[in-house]
C-alpha cells in the first residue's frame, strides 16, 4: 500500500496528464475546462478557507463515481498544495514531510449496500488513505434507522472541530440546481459548510475522467448500474438493456488511460472492437452476480449512458 503522499502525487499526475491530452474530442475538451475550474476552486477558495492539513475539513465518501472523481481531484490538490509550500521553503523537497497520513472522512451507512460496493469502499478507503469515521463511537448513535441529517448531527457532536464537509454533488442531482461552491446546510440539518466543487460536472465529464484515470471503479458500474443507492432501491438502468444498441463514447480515454498497463483485476468493459482495453473494475461479489442473473436481462456498462436525465432511471421509489 502506498502512502497518502504517494497516492496524492499519483492523483496529481493523473490530473496533469488528463489536462495535457491533446485532443479534438469535445467531451475531453469540456472536461479539461471543468477540471481546471474545480481545481482552481479547491486550491484558491476551499484550501484558503480550511487548511486541508488541519482538522476543520472532512470528505464525504460513499464509493460512488462522483465522489471518487472528486476524491482523485482533492488528493491531487492536496499534493499540489504541499508541493507549492515545499518549493517556497528554504529546505529541499526531500526534507519536507507530508503533514498528514490520512484524510478525515465520513460515510453515512443507514442503508443496506450491495456487497460489491461494501468491498469497494473498504478497498478504496485503504487505497486513498481515508480516515473513515466510525459511527459506533458516536454517543447518540443507535442502530435504529436515523436519517442522514441526524447521523451528521451525531458525527458533529463527536467531531465538533469540523466546519466544512466536501460533497460530490452535481447540479444535475435532484434539488441541486441552485447550490454553489460553498453553502451552509439547509434548515433541519446540523450547521456546517457544504463544499461542492463538482457542481458543474456532467455525467460525460465524470466518465471521461474516471475511465482515463485507470483507477479501480466499483464493479457494479460494469453491470449497467448508473446511480447506486441501496440494494432494495437500485436496479441496472433499464435504458442500458442490451436489446438496444448503444454507443461507446470514451475510447480515446480508455486507449490512452493513465498507467493502463498496471496489473490489476479488470473486467471487459466494452464490446466494440477495443477488446484489448479494459475499464478497471472492482470484482463483483457473488451475491450481486446472482442478483443480476435473476433479472434475466443483460445491460451495457453504466458509462454507455450519457444522458444525465436518465441517470437515476434504475432507482425504484420506496413505497
The binding site for ligand FAD (CB under 6 A) comprises: 60-62, 64, 66-67, 106-108, 148, 165, 167-169, 173, 185-186, 189, 194, 229
CA 39 to CA 301: how far, in whole Å? Answer: 28
Position of cell 443483460? 298
Copy the grid coordinates of residue 216.
Answer: 479501480
Pairing of strands 164-166, 130-132: unpaired
CB 152 to Mg ion: min, Å:
14
Residue 248 burial (CB count, 10 A):
17
In the list Mg ion, ligand FAD, none, the entry touching 167 (Cβ below 5 to 8 angstroms by class) is ligand FAD
Q: Does 308 bind Mg ion (CB under 5 A)?
A: no
Contact segment (CB under 5 A) with Mg ion among 14-22, 40-48, 61-69, 232-240 equals: 61-69
- CB nearer to ligand FAD: pick between 187 and 276: 187
| Minimum gap (Å) between residue 224 Cβ and ligand FAD | 17
SS3 content of the chain, % helix, strand, coil (to 5): 40, 10, 50
Q: What radius of gyration, in Å, describes the C-alpha atoms of the chain?
A: 20
Query: How crowded is residue 175: how many other Cβ atoms within 10 Å of its Cβ?
Result: 8
The partner in contact with residue 107, picked from ligand FAD, Mg ion, none with C-beta cut-offs of 5 to 8 angstroms by kind, is: ligand FAD
Residue 179 CB, nearest distance to ligand FAD (Å)?
8
Q: Which does 165 bind (CB under 5 to 8 A by kind): Mg ion, ligand FAD, none?
A: ligand FAD
> 10 Å Cβ neighbour count for 221?
24
Least distance CB 271 / ligand FAD (angstroms) = 27
Whether the CB-CB separation of 269 and 278 falls below 8 Å is answered with yes
Measured from the CB atom, the residue of 8 and 62 that comes closer to ligand FAD is 62
Site residues (vs Mg ion, CB under 5 A): 66
Amino acid at each position: 500500500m502506498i502512502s497518502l503522499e504517494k497516492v496524492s502525487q499519483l492523483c496529481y499526475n493523473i490530473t496533469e496528464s488528463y489536462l495535457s491530452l491533446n485532443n479534438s474530442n469535445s467531451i475531453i475538451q469540456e472536461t479539461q475546462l471543468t477540471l481546471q475550474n474545480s481545481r482552481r476552486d479547491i486550491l484558491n477558495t476551499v484550501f484558503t478557507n480550511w487548511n486541508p492539513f488541519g482538522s476543520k475539513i472532512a470528505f464525504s465518501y460513499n464509493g460512488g463515481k462522483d465522489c471518487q472523481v472528486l476524491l482523485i481531484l482533492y488528493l491531487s490538490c492536496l499534493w499540489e498544495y504541499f508541493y507549492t509550500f515545499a518549493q517556497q521553503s528554504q529546505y529541499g523537497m526531500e526534507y519536507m514531510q507530508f503533514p498528514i497520513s490520512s484524510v478525515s472522512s465520513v460515510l453515512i451507512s443507514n442503508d443496506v449496500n450491495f456487497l460489491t460496493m461494501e468491498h469497494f469502499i473498504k478497498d478504496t478507503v485503504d487505497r486513498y488513505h481515508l480516515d473513515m469515521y466510525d459511527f459506533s463511537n458516536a454517543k447518540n448513535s443507535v442502530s435504529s434507522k436515523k436519517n442522514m441529517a441526524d447521523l451528521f448531527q451525531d458525527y458533529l457532536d463527536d467531531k465538533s472541530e469540523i466546519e466544512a464537509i466536501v460533497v460530490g454533488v452535481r447540479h444535475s442531482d435532484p434539488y441541486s440546481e441552485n447550490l454553489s461552491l460553498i453553502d451552509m446546510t439547509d434548515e433541519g440539518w446540523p450547521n456546517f459548510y457544504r463544499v461542492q466543487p463538482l457542481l458543474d460536472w456532467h455525467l460525460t465529464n465524470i466518465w471521461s475522467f474516471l475511465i482515463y484515470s485507470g483507477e479501480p471503479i466499483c464493479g457494479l458500474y460494469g453491470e449497467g448500474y448508473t446511480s447506486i443507492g441501496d440494494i432494495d432501491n437500485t436496479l441496472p438502468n433499464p435504458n442500458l438493456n442490451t436489446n438496444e444498441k448503444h454507443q461507446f463514447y470514451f475510447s480515446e480515454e480508455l486507449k490512452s488511460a493513465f498507467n493502463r498497463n498496471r496489473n490489476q483485476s479488470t473486467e471487459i468493459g466494452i464490446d466494440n472492437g477495443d477488446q484489448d482495453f479494459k475499464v478497471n473494475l472492482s470484482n463483483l461479489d457473488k451475491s450481486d452476480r446472482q442478483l443480476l442473473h435473476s433479472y434475466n436481462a443483460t445491460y451495457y456498462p453504466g458509462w454507455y449512458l450519457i444522458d444525465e436525465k436518465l441517470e437515476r432511471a434504475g432507482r425504484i421509489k420506496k413505497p
